[in-house]
């Protein structure tokens, strides 16, 4: 008799269980908020629905992983994780000290280093566009107390 027992993909199973547990946690936290009704939603209505959706998605994922027969090799993408994390930290550090424009440019440049090949002209165009949009949206339209340059 052949051994037809398959191995569970523990990485995918742990991801599915995380989604399921996140849904349960959101629902547990949301139970203390007033639900309201469909026409007059309370503060707990949306989190409860979101938690229920996450729970359902998690259950479906667990069953999918249990049925799956293919094994997935997981490679952790260290460079994107490092560069995007560094970009966010740099933005947070620079936004009050150097201003919104330099912080946005630094974020775009560091974020673009997460992917190869590095295209400097494209990155500079995106950084300039994002800086202009950020100043127009956050400083001018929303009136946030940020300066474009220097703080």
Residue 1 belongs to some domain of the structure:
no
Please tell me the total count of domains within the chain: 2
Q: What is the pLDDT of residues 104-147, one digit of tens each?
A: 999 999 999 998 888 999 999 999 999 999 999 999 988 888 89
The answer to whether residues 138 and 84 touch, using CB atoms and an 8 Å cutoff, is no
Residue 97 and residue 56 in one domain: no
Among 5, 27, 24, residue whose Cα is nearest residue 16: 24
Q: Which helix (H) or strand (E) holds 50?
A: helix 45-67
Chain position carrying tokens 């947070």: 92
Please report which confidence band the pLDDT of residue 41 belongs to, taking 50, 70 and 90 as the band edges: confident
Q: How far apart are CA 19 and CA 31, in angstroms?
A: 19
Residue 86: HSE in the Cβ half-sphere, 13 Å Cα cutoff: 13
Residues spanned by the domain of 50: 10-67
Residue 27 belongs to some domain of the structure:
yes
Cα-trace Rg, the chain: 23
100-112 and 120-134 helices cross at what angle (nearest 10)? 140
Residue 26 and residue 48 in one domain: yes
Residue 147 belongs to some domain of the structure:
no
Residue 18 belongs to some domain of the structure:
yes
Residue 88 and residue 55 in one domain: no
Residue 63 and residue 104 in one domain: no
Residue 57 and residue 96 in one domain: no
Residue 45 belongs to some domain of the structure:
yes
Mean pLDDT is lowest, of 12-16, 27-31, 108-112, 127-131, for 12-16
Distance of CA 140 to the CA centre of its chain: 27
**pTM value?**
0.58
Residue 52 belongs to some domain of the structure:
yes
The answer to whether residues 67 and 6 touch, using CB atoms and an 8 Å cutoff, is no
Which whole-number Å values give the CA distances from 77 to 7, 81, 84, in the listed order?
25, 6, 11
Retrieve residue 148's tokens: 């474009």
């Amino acid at each position: 008799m052949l051994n037809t027992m398959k191995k569970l993909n523990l990485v995918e199973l742990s991801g599915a269980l995380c989604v399921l547990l996140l849904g349960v946690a959101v629902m547990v936290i949301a139970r203390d908020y007033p639900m309201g009704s469909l026409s007059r939603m309370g503060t707990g209505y949306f989190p409860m629905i979101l938690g229920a959706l996450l729970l359902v998605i998690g259950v479906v994922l667990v069953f999918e992983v249990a049925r799956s027969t293919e094994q997935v090799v997981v490679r952790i993408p260290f460079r994107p994780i490092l560069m995007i994390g560094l970009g966010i930290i740099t933005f947070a550090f620079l936004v009050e000290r150097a201003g919104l424009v330099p912080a946005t440019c630094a974020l775009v440049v560091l974020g673009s280093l997460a992917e190869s090949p590095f295209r400097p002209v494209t990155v500079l165009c995106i950084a300039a566009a994002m800086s202009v949009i950020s100043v127009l949206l956050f400083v001018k339209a929303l009136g946030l107390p940020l300066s474009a340059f220097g703080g």
